[in-house]
Structures are given as C-alpha cells and as structure tokens.
Chains A and B, each alone.
Chain A
C-alpha cells in the first residue's frame, strides 16, 4: 500500500530538539520530494519546507531560521524533520506529504505526529 508512516508522539521541554520520521512505502522514494507541514492547536496548516530525497536538497520556510533541518536516509526510504530550540509555540501536529516536483500538489500525506512542548 502506498503510504507515508510517521513516528509516534513526542513530549519535549522548552529549548530541546525533536526529530520526526516519515517512512515511505510502496513507491520509489527518490521520485518525490517530501514536504513538511504543521498544524498548531486550533490553527490552520503551515508549510515548513521540503527535502528532495534524490539529492538531499532542501528549502526551508523563512519562519524557522536555523531551527529546521530536513534529512533523509534513502536506504530505508525515510525522511526526517528536526526542529531545535523548541518553544510552546511549536506544539503542533507535524505532517509529511509527498510532492512530485513541478506538480504543485501534495498527493499523499502521513498520519501526523503530535509534538508537545511543555515544561
């Protein structure tokens, strides 16, 4: 079954970092970018950036200067989002989504990972 499966919920303290994974199944991982989108409680969706699994190229939203790192491990078809210097404003559900370059649509989404930042 073509799907993206994300890692489980995390609870972190302010100032810490979190790393969320997104494993692709039943399609060629390097044929599609992985985009990351988050949804804070009661808020809409917010784009965070993308990684090209083929070459590791990345593009991050300007809102997260120096705090976001997106990586991938092609041997296990998995993309990662790491967010550092967490604050309570980073409490959100984080989604990965598949994107074919030039298609301008996110055609497959993961189930989401809840990250809670609390002291």
Chain B
C-alpha cells in the first residue's frame, strides 16, 4: 500500500485560512471514516488534531476542521496563527494504518 498523497507545502498569512488535502483510494480514505490528522514540530511528539474525519479532541481549537469527499480528506485551518506553523500528517485506517507524506505549513 502506498502512502497517502499530501501537498509538500502550503502557506498563508496570519488570519487567513488554508486547506491541506490528503488523497488516497477507495481502499483507505474513501473506504473508512477513520481519517486523522497530526500536527508535528520536528523534534517533538506529534499531536492529534482531528480524528474520525472531522472530530476534534478536547483542547484543539475549533479553527481546525476536517472533512472528506470521496477518496480525499482535507484539513482546514482558519484564522491562521504563527504557532500553527508545523508539519501536518494525515492518516487513514485501511486494515492497517497509512500515513501521508506530510505537508509543511508556513505562516508568512
């Protein structure tokens, strides 16, 4: 199974919104509502931001939202803040677990 496809990088200015896509197949993203998203600062522990496509763990701001259409899941961050700058990874259950290649978010 191949990794899920994410854009290598996205950028936005403080206060703007950005969307990160995560494309898989009908055997993973499209076949299960078990997509999760992780925020990762290199050298630190990844942090769960979204699970089950669109649910937020307690403590995650509602600026973070998730959705899915067909074989593509998306993470939208609205009201960008400087501290949102990090790598973001999607993950889908597919009998086992598949991760995306990661997207570097730059807040300009």
Contacts and interface: CB of A to CB of B under 8 A. Distances in A.
A binds B: yes
Interface of A: 4, 35, 37, 43-47, 59, 61, 95, 97, 103-112
B97 A44 contact: no
Classify chain B's interface size. 20 to 34
A29 B83 CA distance: 32
Interface stretch (B11-19, B47-55, B70-78): B47-55
B45 A109 contact: yes
22 contacts: A35-B97, A43-B101, A44-B89, A44-B99, A44-B101, A45-B99, A45-B102, A46-B99, A61-B96, A95-B46, A97-B46, A103-B51, A104-B51, A105-B36, A105-B51, A106-B91, A107-B48, A109-B45, A109-B46, A109-B47, A110-B45, A111-B44
